[in-house]
Chains A and B, each alone.
Chain A
Amino acid sequence: MLDVAVAYNRYKFLGEEFLTWLWFVVATTPRLLGEMDQNFNSLDIGNRIVLENRKKDAVERITIKGDGASLEEGIVALRKGALVTEMNLVYRSAKHEWKFTIKGESLNISSLKTPHIGLPETPEDLEGFVLEKTYLYDNLLQFLEKVYRHYIYLRISKKWQKTVVPAVHQWIDSTN
């Protein structure tokens, strides 16, 4: 395997394309995500999305935030060649809800809120609490890993250039 630092910088576009593709899937074919989780309810864009356009020498960054914010400017940025570098998502499965932010270049998760469980009241409750939290973290991370794996298989296949890129292009062009 490549040196880790080299691989991080050289392939960070993979994470940003992943988030851009994920937005496209959420907007056009969310049923695909149901194949990754048998209890899947929905995946929605949350209250923050960051895009960057690194064409030419300058970096243009567009941040859209706020509950219910319009994503129009994000689409405009995509039209200019920007990619999603960070997005807040709301994942619902088995009628539970996870909110989190994922960063493209690192795939790091932040601001993760799992379905609520009560804090442990006594030291004896701690193990049960940790195991329940671990189960909830695992649910989300496994789902994301499956979605990413699906994307990677697509990304290295001929289908990517032949059908996915034109479909994303069309979505960007036709969305107001």
Chain B
Amino acid sequence: MDTISGICFIFQGLKFYRMGILSSSVSITRYKVEGKLDQPIIETISRGLKKNAIPEIDEDSTEKTSGWTSLHNPYQPDFSGSSFVYGNYLVFSLRMDKKNISPKVLKKRLMIESARRLARSGREYLSRNEKQLLKDQVMHDLSLKIPATPNIYDIIWNYEESRLWYFTNLKNANEELETLFIRSFELTLIRLFPYTTAVLTSELNDHQKDALGNLSPTPFVA
């Protein structure tokens, strides 16, 4: 497959399997970005993306991983040039890969391995320590055989306005974004929920911020 047809093949796959921006229905968590990047900004961001790009774990025993990937090619991250710049926006994705080992498969492999060891040693039971070591070994072996399931969450970052939209509301995906973002760019993300939206986007003066801080729930009925 040459490069052009390779890109087209990946792109067709993207249309069929992607959620996020390309989906007809999306979820959005809004963030405010605190801090500024070193100039030149595109290069600084590109460095942060490359440094924490998603590693492949299908060939090793790692159970889960996460990192940045590109919107246009989520299974082969490419942050070359300004490929993640769309007009005034920086657009890329966070990918979280996890090997989902079925508890039933784990149980089956454990029973088979356990019986094999007992038969070999002539003993009737395995010690607690041996059971744990066996479980670790079975998990390791299964992790080598099972490919990781990818979950991809898109990001649109308006750098000039310090705003970022993250296309999921999932708690663990939000926490992963916040951690990876500060590690990659040394910028803090503040989630925009009722209080932070009021403080950070409503242009309140100090007096109004004090009034906001002193609010308590309103009973609409007597």
Contact = CB atoms under 8 A, between A and B. Distances in A.
Interface of A: 1-2, 4, 7-8, 10-15, 17-18, 20, 78-81, 83, 103-113, 116, 119-120, 122-123, 126-127, 129-131, 133-134, 137, 141, 145, 148-149, 152-153, 155-156, 160-161, 165, 168-169, 172
Which one of B201, B212, B221 has the highest number of Cβ atoms from chain A below 10 Å of its Cβ? Answer: B221
A115 to B, nearest CB: 11
A123 B8 contact: yes
A106 B220 contact: no
Contacts of A13: 216-217
B174 to A, nearest CB: 9
A1 B72 contact: no
B27 A111 contact: yes
B187 interface: no
Given A12-B193, A127-B87, A20 B220 contact: yes
24 contacts: A1-B199, A2-B195, A18-B194, A78-B220, A81-B220, A81-B221, A108-B27, A108-B193, A109-B28, A112-B25, A112-B27, A120-B15, A123-B7, A126-B71, A126-B72, A129-B22, A130-B71, A134-B156, A148-B202, A152-B198, A152-B204, A153-B202, A153-B208, A168-B220
Contacts of A11: 194-195, 198, 215
Interface of B: 7-8, 11, 15, 21-22, 24-30, 71-72, 86-87, 89, 91, 156, 165, 169, 190-199, 201-204, 208, 211-213, 215-222
Contacts of A152: 198, 202, 204, 212
Contacts, number: 144
A41 B156 CA distance: 27
A9 to B, nearest CB: 10
A8 B27 contact: no
User: What 9 pairs across the A-B complex have the smallest Cβ distances?
Assistant: A15-B194, A11-B195, A14-B194, A156-B211, A110-B27, A7-B195, A13-B217, A109-B28, A108-B169
A109 to B, nearest CB: 4
B87 A131 contact: yes
A11 B72 CA distance: 39
Contacts of B201: 145, 149
A66 B48 CA distance: 46
Contacts of B191: 4, 8, 106
